Amino acid sequence: MSRNPGRPLSPHLTIWKWGPHMAVSILHRATGSALAIIGGIGFVWWLVALASGPEAYATFLKVATSPIGWIVAIGLSWSFFQHMFSGIRHLLLDTGAGYELKTNRAWAIATMVGSTVVTALVWAPIIARH
């Protein structure tokens, strides 16, 4: 495919000034992918282990309750909340609200802070019990 030299090039990432709104947009895509891929693999593994008998399920539980399993579970929880808050932000943006720079920046920061706080609130009592 050849480029028409009469048309301007689209600005590259180095042109834009990075801000929280750009980070949240990228995080929205990344967390959606993580939830679909990692969450899907974990869910299928759980179903297969459940159907395969006690030994397979014990292996699944051993991995799921290992330190790496906890990190993955906490990461997936954060991904879920980040994706959810970012989706709510996008829903509000779709109504035409929140495009002012200060409002957009505040909402973007709120999605990142909110997802982290809610994840901590969910996992604090779980970790405290163990």
Check the CA dihedral 94-98-101-103 and report its sign.
Answer: negative
Q: How far, in whole angstroms, is CA 30 from its chain's centroid?
A: 6
pTM given for the model: 0.86
1 lies in a domain? no
Closest CA to 60 of 43, 45, 39: 45
Q: How many domains does the chain have?
A: 1
* Residues placed in the known binding site for heme: 83
pLDDT digits (tens, 9 = 90+) for 59-89: 999 999 999 999 999 999 999 999 999 999 9
Contact, 49 vs 56, CB < 8 A? yes
Task: Give the span between the Cα atoms of 104 and 97, in whole angstroms.
Answer: 9
Contact, 28 vs 111, CB < 8 A? no
7 lies in a domain? no
* Residues placed in the known binding site: 83
pLDDT digits (tens, 9 = 90+) for 21-59: 999 999 999 999 999 999 999 999 999 999 999 999 999
pLDDT over 80 (residue 10): no
80 lies in a domain? yes
**Which residue range is the domain that position 44 belongs to?**
20-129
CATH of the domain at 75: 1.20.1300.10
